[in-house]
Amino acid sequence: MDKKEASVAAPGRVSIRSRAGFVISSLSAGHGVFHWFNQSFLVVLPEIKRTFGLSNVQVGAITATREMTSGLITLPGGVFTDRFRRYWGAIMAACVGLLGLGWLTLGLAPVYGFLLVGIAIVAISASLWHLPAAASLSLRFPQKRGTALSIHGIGGNIGDVLGPVATGALLGVLTWQRIIAAYAVVPLLLVFVVLWAFRDIGGTRDEAAPPKDMKGQLQLTKAVLKDPLLWGISLVSGLRSMATVPVTTFLPIYMRDDLGLSPERVGVYFGLLVAVGILTTPLLGYLSDRIGRKKVMVPSQACLALFCLALVAFGQGWTLPVVIFCIGIFLRGDQPILTAAMLDAVGKNVANTALGALSLFRFALSASSPVIAGVLYEAHGIDSVFYYAAGVFCLSVLVLLFVRLKKVDG
């Protein structure tokens, strides 16, 4: 990343908080924390199912609650964070605190309903965090947006790998309640660190300072929401998430309940699902900057459809980790590219609003998906879930072929 790009939002700053390396590494680390927690929850989900005696439909409802809550908060959250860009650091610190509170609620949940409350709090914190994090990278690295967002994605991938492996190992010696309660302490201790690190991240001393009042922000919002390109990209993102969520929700359940694998092994396999993304995510992001977003995303999602079908034929024995590895090549890599495609198309003052709309559509479609998959699982077995995911990935590819993305500058 060159220095000119890195100082777009805060020219002349010499503070470490304004340096490109610090910005992207600290944001990536924060991203990793959120993903560590999210993927760890999926590893303990089979144990939660056993403790509360849940059906697969009830398990799906937990994920559906997460998706629905995320969707409801993202668009108003995007407008709010665009309007109050100077307070992004405080907003991000509050998100970290909410993450700890949500996990504490999950760990202390006496009944099923409290699990839904806890996962909703976690969803709010993660959704709001991602808006200023992605927008700040877009502002600082406009010519290398896909690369920057993909590097940011590496932090999430590292959390995705380490979280399931560590949590799976801990399940061998601790109950899931104790693990979650212990994890809850970490973000609560990080609140003040985050507040210091990101205090200046929403600096507005550039030509694109936000409107002076909410009325002006709402006018910009109205204009951007009329853009058909925004909704085309959002539909692709929604379909992609609709296909991804059932796989990540029920693959651990399948490995634990149907295949009888140990929690430790489930953690390792689930970590493998995203480990390969540490290498492929930045490569895909770089390629999207060089050759175009669509030329990377179309084959990526087509391969995901193919490998979901491969789970039907090869989803057990020694071939299972091979298929999981193949899915992992593309599973995380094209989401940062979709985000970059959205930010290519909108102005700086509505970046969070556009991302909020993207997330709203994504979560609106994906909210029902784990419940649908749970019903299919109960009625027809895990193969029906994999067929369902593959079909939705194919639909996403078809829609993407008709969306005319803006060309990458530079």
Contact 360, 75 (CB under 8 A): yes
| Whole-number Å distance between alpha carbons of 159 and 178 | 20
Residue 5 lies in a domain: no
Position 27, amino acid: L
pTM score over 0.95:
no
- Nearest to 242, CA basis, from 355, 340, 357, 367: 367
- Nearest to 43, CA basis, from 278, 249, 322: 249
Residue 248: C-alpha distances to residues 220, 245, 266 (Å): 36, 5, 12
Instruction: Locate 2 and state its tokens.
Output: 């060159």
Q: pLDDT per residue over 198-216, tens digit each?
A: 887 766 444 455 555 555 5
How confident is the model over 38-48, as a mean pLDDT?
A: 87
| Whole-number Å distance between alpha carbons of 114 and 119 | 9
Q: Can you give the CATH number for the domain in which 251 is found? A: 1.20.1250.20
Instruction: Locate 70 and state its tokens.
Output: 């995320």
Domain count, the chain: 1
| Whole-number Å distance between alpha carbons of 156 and 27 | 10
Residue 326: C-alpha distances to residues 134, 314, 315, 322 (Å): 27, 12, 12, 6
Residue 408 lies in a domain: no
Contact 118, 109 (CB under 8 A): yes
Contact 43, 170 (CB under 8 A): no
Count other C-beta atoms under 10 Å from residue 15's C-beta.
10
Q: pLDDT per residue over 303-312, tens digit each?
A: 999 999 999 9
Q: Buried (b) or exposed (e) across 186-218, using 16+ Cβ within 10 A?
A: ebbebbeebbebbbbbbbeeeeeebeeeeeebe
Residue 182 lies in a domain: yes
Q: How far apart are the first and last CA of the chain?
A: 13
Residue 50: C-alpha distances to residues 34, 44, 47, 167, 257 (Å): 25, 10, 5, 17, 10
Residue 248 lies in a domain: yes
Residue 77 lies in a domain: yes
pLDDT of residue 6: 44
pLDDT at 43 > cutoff 50: yes
Q: pLDDT per residue over 338-357, tens digit each?
A: 878 877 776 565 666 666 66
pLDDT bin (cut points 50, 70, 90) of residue 1 is very low
Non-local CB neighbours of 93 within 8 Å, separated by 6+ positions = 191, 192, 194, 195, 198
pLDDT of residue 299: 93
Residue 378 lies in a domain: yes
pLDDT bin (cut points 50, 70, 90) of residue 9 is very low
Residue 1 lies in a domain: no
Residue 174 lies in a domain: yes
DSSP secondary structure, 332-348, as one string: TTSHHHHHHHHHHHS-G
Q: Which domain holds residue 318?
A: 16-402
Position 189, amino acid: L
**Residue with the larger pLDDT of the pair 101 and 368:** 101
- Nearest to 34, CA basis, from 253, 176, 186, 200: 186
Instruction: Locate 288 and state its tokens.
Output: 């999207």
Count other C-beta atoms under 10 Å from residue 143's C-beta.
15
